[in-house]
Structure 1
Amino acid sequence: MSASDPAAVPPTVSVLSVNLDRGHHFSKHPAEEVLLVEGIGIEGDAHAGETVQHLSRKRWHKDEPNLRQVHLIHRELFDELATEGFEVGAGDLGENVTTEGVDLLGLPRGTVLHLGDEAAVEITGLRNPCVQIDRFQQGLLKAVVRTDEDGAVERRTGVMAVVRAGGTVRPGDTLRIELPAQPHESLTTV
């Protein structure tokens, strides 16, 4: 589903993997379940908190709201990257939730994703990848951040979100999409 065609709901939209890491490492480890805490993020994850937690931003923006509590990537990106010679799996790019069956990058800002029976996150923007991606696999940054001939930049490393409703999320949980009111606002980096 994309913002341009909100009526086209994929037949299977789900959570493929949930991942977390207590330290500030690039990749996150798959888990049997994660607990989302409203306004905070994923319990036990290094990026959980009401204010900015990412080390690259914390020094100058430590008192600003944390708009990057949960990172989501669609599994289909891994297939695209495989055709370009990269091996990437769930959690490898630091995402907390790996989804399947939804074009996350095509959703508008403010979209609420209901994960399982209880949890919900609101998309705040695009993830802005850094050079750590090339440390993971050389050349991957160029593969996930492209610039077209007109100079427009396309970022393909998922979306960031804040937790609007807490709850437990597990692989296999359903994912329901709630679009914001019109007019829709395109995603930018946060």
Structure 2
Amino acid sequence: MANLVMFCILAVIILGSAVMCVMTKSIMRAATFLLFVLFGVAGIYFLLDYTFLGAAQISIYAGGITIMYIFAIQLLSKRTLQGMVERVKGSRIWQGAFIAVAGAVTVITIFVKNNFIENYASNGEVPIEKIGTQLLSSGVDGYVLPFEFISLFLLACIIGGTLIGKKGDDE
């Protein structure tokens, strides 16, 4: 019963912080709410007794990635950050809803295609050895190459954002 209560509390924190991260007008507040989301996900890992994943979530994502975002935000000039308030248009809401539905359909299709529910949800537990093997392998089911692409993509986004922000200082 205590696990269910803790899960509900963490779910409310994660969902509330995620919504506030997207809805706030201040970019520093968005980074702070993102930090709360990442800590909430780490709490769920600890609740499931995946201490390694919880510690990795805190040290890598909540610690490293969020601090990297904050440094990138601070590198931009204050003039650039003041003009970042954008009005929400009706067409953007429909585009966002379409993308969210397409993402959900993609995830459900992958779950059904790979028999995820029969293989993993039926026994209730995924062994940590299997997670570690898949995270560190470069084979067919490995995730090393996608993680490297994501890290390069994030680096390119930060460099591009810094260049765009600094372009206004030269003029």
TM range (shorter): under 0.3
Q: Which structure shows the higher helix fraction?
A: 2
TM-score (norm 2): 0.26
Q: Which structure shows the higher strand fraction?
A: 1
